Structure 1
């Protein structure tokens, strides 16, 4: 059934790419012939055997000589065979995982191995693990939270799955290849940037490679819940008296007519539904004693889903998000978003953020800032981020990595984009904190790109009609003191994100006072603005790279932004300094984008206090 589901999904993506873009199907067919992996939703709510810890690793620097055959296909007969403890192989092909060094998983290789700091290629991971005799009528999956960028997985010398994309989870079924006792897994991760990758080759953040999020084994009954959606009924208008919950539970392996239950004891919900021929069980039920989720009251309910022997419990909040003219309405009330951008960069330790400590530190910064919102730039972050946002009442913008220039003209790229979009939405659709799905950041204004992203926005609405769709628009450059956003992509958006850097890349800080903006008559978020300053570098407000000038730029920005009538949120770039390979001014940048309100080692700049006070006083904009 899973294989039929995969083939059906691939056919849908292929047809969508061809019909929507009206381009050659050859490359898309080639892409869709690659195996798709399973994706289990709520994986962090199931019992799991963690495979985190020390893994052996080998670097494939030829490049990828052991991974790829001469025709570019995957070599299943090299390091994946894990021939040890004897060193084996033809001349220049010898290897031995048993005596290889170790690296911690999760974690990027760049910050763990000094020699690999700037390495963007193939690294092989290997570890042994123990398996108890399998219970009858169960299935086991290898879960990988994220690996950047292309990943190939073998268990006991058999390829389990392949995945493309560096920021979303995937699950490889390994039921048939496991045996009681000692087993081994070999994973090849290729961090090479690709012209037809998402993102493409030119990015302004660090390309951390490796198994950057948790790895675990998850065993479920042979009939199991793989997807679900539980949300407040989203009618044409918000009705505060409506406490009807709706959604679906999807079950693998169950026949039509099988019963599922949705129980929320605190809200007096105990719904029963039956599965249809596609494995879906739609439901609708009235809740009582109901509190809506909001930043002021981030209420979460224990929701238990059951089908036969399978059951899982998730913590879910319920709220309504929509637009009305130029307003953003949360539970029927106009809301102004006071937030910051954030890369998945670990504070102080450095490297890709992945741990509970990383998340607690980052959200501690947001709460100290008095923020009610965060943009998780420019890709899906670790699921812990949305979990923490749910608990803390921080609203979230989540984005797939269509950053600036990707191959918009190619249907196979669109097909990959749809898969990434689906993986992001499927993982986080039950997170109340997520109010915005973003389809792109700072993309070039041309018809091919506009068609591509418009269709992607519509795809997002089909996957999840309960949330708002946005994108961060850049440009055009100022024409004198007129800033006009006439980008046709805005027509496809519910909320317009507007990036601008007046006073840093454009014009002067003082010019911001006189700028006249022409923006779409929709809710507008200033999704990026700011200036670079190195922590501890002080001087006059006119001196570049000083903390004082960063404040000076923001002060003039504040005066400008308050004159935009449809402004509904401010998202400075960025909460914390982060690594970028294109930021190389010695003594000032040293490989970091310095636009953070906080340094990479946790030191708050003067601009942090500026925003902290503004958000406390709600002085930057109005919700109405």
Structure 2
């Protein structure tokens, strides 16, 4: 990560050249690629020469895309794969060029024309390298990607979703001026409905410069001075802002100009805060009518990455009646984040601090902090994002509490304009089998108390016991169910007592939603989960076959009966609390 260039944001509104398409690949299960210098992409020039690899005659694979869903030989492969892409490019004088990856899982090493650009660790965040000097007219780009699971990683060895490997998101070349706007942050000042804070980061040699800002619909035209560190700041005022919300997902064109360098984005303005047990959006209490989502397509059974797949998911979310979507358990691609914002869907974003990671390992904490930094940097201007989640289902311990508190402090320092939460466990009170206590120490520092509960699915109890559930919430804060759910094989019908039937799942949802109506503190739901997804932990033949079946939509894209139960509940439940 030390060799990376600082993250360039707003990539899809910049001048880019796509390197998506067919790439060559070599499987390196024996890890001999480094020793044999695959990254040099050498060619045999003499018939007597010995060279034990050849990208030119290798098989091809699509980028972006996980390797598991594209080739039978890679279905369960975990290890290193070497990618190679040849391309021509004509550089323009005075321009700078950057190689951008939307994500690659998990550890990547990148080489251009035999030169190592750097490395990146983490499977769900963007990274980029400057390639102005290395870029030629004829180019060979070689990338090794290794999805081997290790204890110190995030996520760690054990998780409950498929460990898709590969270059899973877009690969682009960004063209910029010699001095350019690398990043900017804009939004309403905390506690204000009419003050807009702007911060701009410039990169290049001519840093002592001025930036022109325009927001035409707000009649804003301002000049921002950039200091010698390349940072410019300004506070603006407007009394005519139309605030972003699910009912009014208003986005403004924001234009920043630095000489010939122009950057445009579409930005919404809104406030989000908590007051007692309420979540306030633009000062009004809101109920989060949500669902959880993994980044997996039901038709390809691979990692989702395209605008078309994002459109499909958001269409289902809207059909369900949601105003809120939990993107779990890691940062999803930028396409779905931007589309959700455009369609008025509020978002929970999360990093894969999942179950039992190495809480005492400084490297593991550094990784978690970097992942938070990356996703906040990418999505800080997205009005749809209202919650940053620190973790999912982590057991309470002193080292875990310290770890998560450090993440909270880092997040508040980085972005104080959003709420903080995590998906927590509940536990029994020792007196009644139907009583659950919510008292995780994390809640003291969180804005929203969120818990996962599966009474009526795991264990011997049936959904009829849910009516007896009593929650003792020890915090006077907004409470949401970040997860609840039951498995059902799409198309399997029986009576409601039969596990894995759509009728059982339907009954579970009916009982759970009725129970939700008795929780005065409840301010939102994101049941588990919109669509069935693959997991190596789910091995029951006939019913699971490698899939978590808690989706309201099957692994073939068919809606189950519980989908319509939740939809009816949301139709009756207004937006306002």
Asked if these proteins are the same fold (TM beyond 0.5), I'd say yes
Secondary structure of the structure 1 residue equivalent to 2:505: helix
Matched, 1:488 2:441: yes
Secondary structure of the structure 2 residue equivalent to 1:175: coil
Matched, 1:301 2:252: yes
Q: 1:135 aligns with which of 78, 93, 105?
A: 93
Contact 1:258–1:274 (CA<8 Å) still a contact in 2?
Answer: yes
Matched, 1:372 2:323: yes
Q: Deviations over 1:391-442 (max 9, x none)?
A: 1000000001101111110111111111111100000001110000001000
Comparing 339-348 with 271-280, which one deviates more in the overlay? Answer: 271-280
- 2:71 is matched with 113
- 1:174 is matched with 131
Secondary structure of the structure 2 residue equivalent to 1:97: coil
Report the alpha carbon displacement of residue 134 of structure 1 after superposing the two structures with TM.
2.7
Q: Deviations over 1:451-501 (max 9, x none)?
A: 100110111111000000110001325642210011101112101111000
- 1:512 is matched with 466
Q: 1:47 aligns with which of 15, 27, 39?
A: 15
Contact 2:273–2:418 (CA<8 Å) still a contact in 1?
Answer: yes
- 1:156 is matched with 113
Q: 2:266 aligns with which of 307, 315, 336?
A: 315
Matched, 1:187 2:143: yes
Matched, 1:262 2:216: no
Equivalent-residue separation in structure 1 for 2:138 and 2:313 (angstroms):
39
Residues 1:89 and 1:357: Cα distance change in structure 2 (over 3 Å): farther
Matched, 1:80 2:36: no
Contact 2:350–2:388 (CA<8 Å) still a contact in 1?
Answer: yes
Q: Deviations over 1:153-174 (max 9, x none)?
A: 0000000121000000001111
- 1:59 is matched with 27
Secondary structure of the structure 1 residue equivalent to 2:173: strand
Q: Deviations over 1:488-525 (max 9, x none)?
A: 01112101111000101153312211111011221111
Contact 1:497–1:525 (CA<8 Å) still a contact in 2?
Answer: yes
Contact 2:324–2:345 (CA<8 Å) still a contact in 1?
Answer: yes
Q: 2:571 aligns with which of 586, 597, 616?
A: 616
Report the alpha carbon displacement of residue 85 of structure 1 after superposing the two structures with TM.
5.2
> Which consecutive residues of structure 2, in runs of 5 or more, have no partner in the other structure?
none
Q: How many residues align?
A: 573
Matched, 1:123 2:81: yes
Secondary structure of the structure 2 residue equivalent to 1:612: helix
Contact 1:88–1:94 (CA<8 Å) still a contact in 2?
Answer: no
TM-score, scaled relative to structure 1: 0.89
Report 1:234-383 matches (<5 A): 234-235=190-191, 242-253=193-204, 257-287=208-238, 289-383=240-334
TM-score, scaled relative to structure 2: 0.96
> Which consecutive residues of structure 1, in runs of 5 or more, have no partner in the other structure?
1-31, 68-74
Q: Deviations over 1:14-45 (max 9, x none)?
A: xxxxxxxxxxxxxxxxxx8x534431011111
Matched, 1:218 2:183: no
Equivalent-residue separation in structure 1 for 2:44 and 2:489 (angstroms):
50
Equivalent-residue separation in structure 2 for 1:255 and 1:140 (angstroms):
17
Report the alpha carbon displacement of residue 89 of structure 1 after superposing the two structures with TM.
11
Report the alpha carbon displacement of residue 372 of structure 1 after superposing the two structures with TM.
0.4
Contact 1:347–1:361 (CA<8 Å) still a contact in 2?
Answer: no
Q: 1:101 aligns with which of 43, 48, 59?
A: 59
Equivalent-residue separation in structure 1 for 2:543 and 2:46 (angstroms):
47
Q: 1:465 aligns with which of 409, 416, 420?
A: 416
Contact 1:87–1:96 (CA<8 Å) still a contact in 2?
Answer: no
Report the alpha carbon displacement of residue 618 of structure 1 after superposing the two structures with TM.
0.5
Residues 1:408 and 1:170: Cα distance change in structure 2 (over 3 Å): same
Contact 2:105–2:145 (CA<8 Å) still a contact in 1?
Answer: yes
Q: Deviations over 1:567-600 (max 9, x none)?
A: 1001110000001111111110111000000002
Residues 1:89 and 1:125: Cα distance change in structure 2 (over 3 Å): farther
Secondary structure of the structure 2 residue equivalent to 1:98: coil
Report the alpha carbon displacement of residue 256 of structure 1 after superposing the two structures with TM.
5.7
Residues 1:556 and 1:420: Cα distance change in structure 2 (over 3 Å): same
Report 1:545-560 matches (<5 A): 545-560=500-515
Equivalent-residue separation in structure 1 for 2:21 and 2:45 (angstroms):
24
Equivalent-residue separation in structure 1 for 2:350 and 2:492 (angstroms):
33
Comparing 343-352 with 569-578, which one deviates more in the overlay? Answer: 343-352
Equivalent-residue separation in structure 1 for 2:133 and 2:428 (angstroms):
58
Contact 2:15–2:176 (CA<8 Å) still a contact in 1?
Answer: no
Secondary structure of the structure 2 residue equivalent to 1:417: helix
Residues 1:200 and 1:89: Cα distance change in structure 2 (over 3 Å): farther
Report 1:199-214 matches (<5 A): 199-214=155-170
Report the alpha carbon displacement of residue 86 of structure 1 after superposing the two structures with TM.
5.3
Secondary structure of the structure 1 residue equivalent to 2:427: coil
Q: 1:588 aligns with which of 514, 523, 543?
A: 543
Contact 2:4–2:128 (CA<8 Å) still a contact in 1?
Answer: no
Secondary structure of the structure 1 residue equivalent to 2:364: helix
Secondary structure of the structure 2 residue equivalent to 1:511: helix
Contact 2:4–2:127 (CA<8 Å) still a contact in 1?
Answer: no
Report the alpha carbon displacement of residue 231 of structure 1 after superposing the two structures with TM.
0.4
Report the alpha carbon displacement of residue 307 of structure 1 after superposing the two structures with TM.
1.6
Contact 2:513–2:569 (CA<8 Å) still a contact in 1?
Answer: no
Contact 1:255–1:275 (CA<8 Å) still a contact in 2?
Answer: no
